[in-house]
Every structure is written in structure tokens, then in C-alpha cells.
Amino acid sequence: MKSINFNTGERTYIVNEDESKVIRINLSDINLMKRINETQKQIQHLSEKYRDTKKPSFEEIKDINHEIRRIFNYAFGTDICTPAFGDANVMSPVDGKPLFQVFFDAFLPVLREDLKTVAPKKMEIKPEVQKYLDKPEITVSKPIAAFAQPYSQGLDVSTLSKEQKAALIAQLLS
């Protein structure tokens, strides 16, 4: 069988130097930051739900463990909890903190550095296109109809004025 090899943007992290515990995260995934931002609300909700609990019951600790694992795995688009925590409850105390916090204290600085390396570089714009972008009178006040309604017939570009065509190009390149 033939193999297809290409860069997917995935980074591999080995947990505590144990090569059987591997986390793979696609850092170039455009949805990664979207999912991470979405999970902030879920974490806040979980925090508020158990805020007044002085001594959580076994069931509550089990539920918190399940929810935190679900949230983190969703945020990163892969199962990071199994290699990081194994079967241990993420609320297990380590050095006076929950296990998940100890993990993220170690993981987040490494992740931030790696995210910087895959951040999109400034796009190079060809000179023949730049002349349209340099015109200060070009303003785009609303999206082009074909992009706002992708299943409509779209826009007949032949009916646009020179200024409108320049605005269309500016919008497409921004």
C-alpha cells in the first residue's frame, strides 16, 4: 500500500518522557482557537456550578472529572487527557493543586511557543494587486452578495464600475 506524506501542522508532545504517552495537536487548525474560546464558557459554567461546594461528594468529583476531560479534549480536537492523566481523576491533588492544573502549568508555556511558530506570516501581495489596495478612496462597507449568500447566483462582475471592481479586489485580499 502506498503512503501519502504531507505536513498537517500537527505537533507531538511526549508526556513526562514516556513515549507511550503522546499528545498530538494540529496547531495549524484554524478552529483550534475557536474551540478553546468556546470552552472558556463551559469552564466558567462548571466553576459556578460547584463554587459553593465545600466538600464535594464522590459523584460530584466523578462528574467534574468527566466534564473537564470532555471540555479539554474538545478544545484541542483530540484526546489529550488519556495520555496526560491516564485513569487518574483530573481533580487529584498534586503539590496542592488539581492534577489538570499542574499539567497545564507545564504544557501551556510550551504550547504558546509552538503556536507562535505556526502563526500566519504576513502575506506578500503582488505589486500589480497592491496598486488597487493603495487607493484611499476604496472602501468596502458591506460584504459582496455572492459571499454573504454563497448559494445565490452571485454577482455579475461585468456590471461593476472600475471603482467597484477595485473595492471587490480589496475585499477579497483583506
Q: What is the pLDDT of residue 157?
A: 65
What is the helix (H) or strand (E) element at residue 18, kind and residue range?
strand 18-26
Query: Which sequence spans correspond to the domains of the chain?
Result: 10-118, 127-173
pLDDT band for 154, please (50, 70, 90 cuts).
low
As a whole number, mean pLDDT of residues 70-98 equals 95
The predicted pLDDT at position 17 comes to 95
pLDDT score recorded for residue 66: 96
Q: Tell me what the mean pLDDT of segment 97-104 comes to.
A: 92
Given a cut of 90, is residue 159 above it in pLDDT? no
Tell me: pLDDT of 28 over 90.
no
> Letter for the amino acid at 116?
K
Burial of 76 (0-12, 13-18, 19+ CB in 10 A): buried
| Three-state DSSP class for residue 57 | coil
**pLDDT mean across residues, the chain:** 81
Residues in the chain: 174
* CA within 13 Å, CB half, 3: 2
Task: Give pLDDT, residue 152.
Answer: 47
pLDDT per position as a tens digit, 111-146: 888 888 877 666 566 776 666 556 555 454 544 444
The DSSP output letter for 68 is H
Q: Classify burial at 102, counting beta carbons within 10 Å of its beta carbon; exposed 0-12, middle 13-18, buried 19 or more.
A: middle
Paired residues of 99 in beta bridges: none
Cα–Cα distance between 24 and 11 in angstroms, integer? Answer: 6
Express each pLDDT in 42-74 by its tens digit.
988 888 888 888 888 899 999 999 999 999 999
**pLDDT in the model for residue 171:** 64
CA-nearest of 54, 45, 44, 25 to 114 is 25
pTM metric for this prediction: 0.65
